[in-house]
Amino acid sequence: AQSVAQPEDQVNVAEGNPLTVKCTYSVSGNPYLFWYVQYPNRGLQFLLKYITGDNLVKGSYGFEAEFNKSQTSFHLKKPSALVSDSALYFCAVRDGPTDTNAGKSTFGDGTTLTVKP
Using CB under 8 A, list all residues that contact another protein. Answer: 32, 34, 36, 41-46, 49, 51, 90, 94, 97, 99, 101-105, 107, 109-110
Q: Give yes or no for a contact between 104 and 92, defined as CB atoms under 8 angstroms apart.
A: no
Closest distance between another protein and the C-beta of residue 64, in Å? Answer: 16
Work out how close the CB of 103 gets to another protein at its nearest, in angstroms, rounded to a whole number.
5
Q: Is the dihedral of CA 95, 7, 42, 19 positive or negative?
A: negative
CB of 70 to another protein, least distance (A): 21
Of 81 and 89, nearer to another protein (C-beta) is: 89
Please state the closest distance from residue 58 (CB atom) to another protein, in A: 15
Q: Which of residues 8 and 107 has its CB atom nearest to another protein in the complex?
A: 107
Q: In the complex with another protein, which residue's Cβ is closer, 32 or 81?
A: 32
Q: DSSP E strands: which ranges in the chain?
A: 3-5, 10-14, 19-21, 24-26, 32-38, 44-50, 56-58, 64-68, 73-78, 87-94, 106-107, 111-116
Question: Which residues neighbour 30 within 8 Å (Cβ) at sequence distance 6 or greater?
Answer: 52, 95, 96
